[in-house]
Amino acid sequence: MSESRPSHDLTTTITANGLILAILAYAGLLLALHPDLYYRSVQEDEYLEWATFWSFVLASGAFLAAAWRSYREQARLPFFLPGLALFCAFVAMEEISWGQRLLGYRPPAYLLEHNFQQEMNVHNVVDDSLRRLAFLGVILGYGVLLPAALRLDRPREMANRLGIVAPPLVLIPAFAATAAFYEIYPWTHTGEWAELMLGISMLFAAALNLRAAMRNAAGPHSIRGAGSRLVLTWLMAILLGVATAEAWRSARLGEPEQVEVARVELAALRRDVAAARTKTDCGLHKRVYSFVETYQQDHLRSGRFAALVVRGLPEERAEFFLDPWNSPYWVRHICSADWTRRAVYVYSFGPNRRRDSVEWRIFEDDVGAWISRPQPEGVDE
């Protein structure tokens, strides 16, 4: 890339940062006004996760296109932009666990044992503190420190020789706000919203890098008016996320035979968890395998659920407490704020392999078994 830099007008700056900060504002309003919808929005395979996926996919494509433009201009293949494209593609696939829930395949035993989400991805195998450090490192290193450093002559000259391309300066506030939001972590599931903010930031960086590459190829001219293109790019990622989530929801299959298998397994699991030796507390909401591992509930490994192996339950599903769709079974103990109501149940995400239930309700295609139902004034199944 040449040293010439596009001039960004104030509208582009406000638009780029405003669209990313709008995600944070939306999350706060949703939590305050409609907590149930907030809870459902942050679940796997909902519009939030799919919008994050698409933002990284689109960013990957834009980085590749910018790399191609740079190659045509300089007659040498740059490494940095293709590296960013590969990084974004990897993050996108990690976000949807490499299609595991879509296809319903069973991850390798190593991931079932060491990945706390029991999913086909690598990032959940890494220690929480390291994962958090890596996330902040990407945001601050790429989005804040790199563009600031390349304002200096010597680092900029070195970057030009090495083919390193920084995101535009106008995105520094958005990257910095994403890092601060993630570090403060003001709400439950803050990380899901921060991931979308990072995805959109990367998408905007890729789009503006591509525009700069096109500018260098076509001759000097300003890129004023990029704000409207960023709005369209933002809408594309969000709408693709909503459309994908809706398409997956409408395409779910009832699979009555598998549902019946899940009901039989949950009935056995319900009796195991209801046993006097099983200890649950208010606020518990874990995958059954994680519950067994974390709270040393080893008797569940040899209960009625495990005994179903003689009736055809695959041993690996029994060992890791997986449902017929190779997703984890869950256990939940919910109590009201005033402790007057409580409920305990085990459940599966069902055929669509996504959580549809909320605190006091098992509904849509989730399959569940009550151990202790809500009090009469509560919401029943």
- Whole-number Cα distances in Å, 81 to 85, 141, 236: 6, 15, 22
Q: pLDDT, tens digit, for every residue of 90-131?
A: 999 999 989 888 888 888 888 888 887 788 888 878 888 888
Strands (E) located in 175-310 = 285-287
Angle at 5 between CA 16 and CA 221, to 5 degrees: 90
If you average pLDDT over residues 131-157, what whole number do you get?
94
Whether 201 shows a pLDDT value over 70: the answer reads yes
Contact 223, 6 (CB under 8 A): yes
Q: Tell me which of 10 and 172 has the higher pLDDT.
A: 172
Q: pLDDT, tens digit, for every residue of 29-58?
A: 999 999 888 988 998 889 999 999 999 999
CA distance 147 to 142: 7
| Per-residue pLDDT at 254 | 61
Q: Tell me which of 175 and 276 has the higher pLDDT.
A: 175
| Per-residue pLDDT at 218 | 42
Window from 67-81, 98-112, 263-277, 366-380 with minimum mean pLDDT: 366-380
| Per-residue pLDDT at 5 | 45
What is the torsional sign of CA 271, 272, 276, 280?
A: negative
CA distance 90 to 85: 9
Angle at 19 between CA 14 and CA 24, to 5 degrees: 120
User: Binning pLDDT at 50, 70 and 90, where does residue 287 land?
Assistant: very high
Domains in the chain: boundaries = 10-250, 256-372
Residues in CB range of 13: below 8 A, 6 or more apart:
170
| Per-residue pLDDT at 75 | 60
Whether 305 shows a pLDDT value over 90: the answer reads yes
Residue 164 CA, chain-centre distance (Å), reads 28
User: Binning pLDDT at 50, 70 and 90, where does residue 2 land?
Assistant: very low
Q: pLDDT, tens digit, for every residue of 343-361?
A: 999 999 998 888 888 778 8
Residues in CB range of 372: below 8 A, 6 or more apart:
342, 343, 344, 345
User: Binning pLDDT at 50, 70 and 90, where does residue 215 land?
Assistant: low
